Amino acid sequence: MRDRDAVPSLRRLRAFQAVAQATSLSAAAQTLRLSQPALTHSIALLEAGLGARLFERTPEGAFLNEAGRVFHRRSERFFNQVHMALCGANGLGLDDPAIDQQASKLASAQVRSLLAIWRSGSFRAAARSLGLADPSLQRPARELEQIIGAPLYRRSAAGLTVNLAGAELARRLALAIGEIRAGAEELDAATHSRASLRVGVLALAPRSLLAEAADAVLADNGTHSIKIVEGPYAQIIQDLHYGALDLIFGALRAPPPFEELVEEPLFEDPYTIVCRRGHPLTRLPQASAEDLARYTWVHPTADLPRRTVLDKMITDWGLDQNISFETNCLSTITSFLSASDRLSILSKKHVEADQRLASVNHPPIEHEPRHVGLTIRKNWLPTPLQSRFLENLRNMAAKFASHPRHSK
């Protein structure tokens, strides 16, 4: 269950939940209308897959052990999120008996088919990705639609694909499955000390903080896995929304584009006009608008917040409006500034930490407060590894706020 695309056995999870609640194999079997051997087999397969025993079996019944309690917390969150996903798909309330009925009918093959169609973009591409014939995929996909009682698919240029309701249901189910993956990692960490974390990072975020926070965690045990993904905001915020990332570190947008996301500011990092070390403007007590007007600019691309700030500043101060060079690549901006007398706009702490760059002493730039921090999902429950990483990152960010270090 550590594979993002893997779908857990709902039958085994239901068996686990039933035994945990009833503390009795026979009572749980009656609740699920299974034979006791069939129920016991499901529990055994779940425990084998997780590599841990979940129950202490005594003459008085079957009781969750420490590993079982850890996994039960994740299993409860999984089924709660499945119920919320179903509510969102058909408009019913959480207390509606129909939701329980729909959840009880849900099968792993149906969830797997929906997620494959959502991720692949069409029925045909999904069937190829799963190694199935089209009818073998369409059957569970249509069965899910019947259970929900609402259309989940539409025709597009690429063929049959998910509609908006189907995409949102798939996203929510993917987040639910993430709970089981996290539970498996928590158990694995307890026995083999293996756990993982996936972090999205934005362009001007201090990389040294991530490196030191990660190194502190990995120093405890080298079998942990931390994946850092760099990318534009629009891409990685979608990855966080879909559950492909655990958190994002970088400039906050206040508010984030999705209601389920929350932001935590760590320190303020305003914009500044930047140039190469030794630039003529660095020798001035303060550069006036007339001084700045003698130089051309390296422009950020129009999709970046600092481009909006730069465009307004250029207009308000009567600076050179010619756009001869623009890029969204931070290393390219730095290289271009280092090799010329051009100016650009970057965050103050990034400039302080780069030995090739210098800030121009200039009049204040008007812009909304710019905070660097964390973006996470509201109901995210970090694993112990993830909690330690967050604690390290918060502590290091507090120190960095007053003592910036190299951020490359």
Q: What is the DSSP string of 31-67?
A: HHT--HHHHHHHHHHHHHHHTS--EEEETTEEEE-HH
Residue 4 lies in a domain: no
Q: Are residues 97 and 44 in the same domain?
A: yes
For residue 195, name the pLDDT band (cuts at 50, 70, 90).
confident
Are 127 and 23 in contact, with CB atoms under 8 Å apart? no
Q: Are residues 216 and 298 in the same domain?
A: no
Q: Are residues 205 and 248 in the same domain?
A: yes
Q: Are residues 143 and 288 in the same domain?
A: no
Q: Are residues 208 and 254 in the same domain?
A: yes
Cis peptide before 255 (omega within 30 of 0): yes
Q: Are residues 297 and 252 in the same domain?
A: no
What pLDDT score does 373 carry? 97
CATH number of residue 343's parent domain: 3.40.190.10
Q: Are residues 24 and 114 in the same domain?
A: yes
Query: Rounded to the nearest 5 degrees, what angle is found at the Cα of 114, between the Cα atoms of 108 and 118?
Result: 145
User: Residue 53: which region, alpha, beta or left (left: phi > 0; alpha: psi -120 to 50)?
Assistant: beta
Q: Are residues 137 and 40 in the same domain?
A: yes
What residues make up the domain containing 381? 193-268+371-400
Are 117 and 142 in contact, with CB atoms under 8 Å apart? no
Q: Are residues 14 and 97 in the same domain?
A: yes
Residue 38 lies in a domain: yes
Residue 405 lies in a domain: no
Q: What is the mean pLDDT of residues 6-12?
A: 94
The helix (H) or strand (E) run that includes residue 191 is helix 164-192
For residue 406, name the pLDDT band (cuts at 50, 70, 90).
very low
Are 383 and 186 in contact, with CB atoms under 8 Å apart? yes
Which residue from 324, 319, 315, 347 is spatially nearest to 334, judged by alpha carbons?
A: 347
Q: Are residues 165 and 210 in the same domain?
A: no
Residue 110 lies in a domain: yes
Are 308 and 251 in contact, with CB atoms under 8 Å apart? no
Q: Are residues 331 and 258 in the same domain?
A: no
What pLDDT score does 408 carry? 44
Tens digits of residue pLDDT in 266-284: 999 999 999 999 999 999 9
Q: Are residues 144 and 208 in the same domain?
A: no
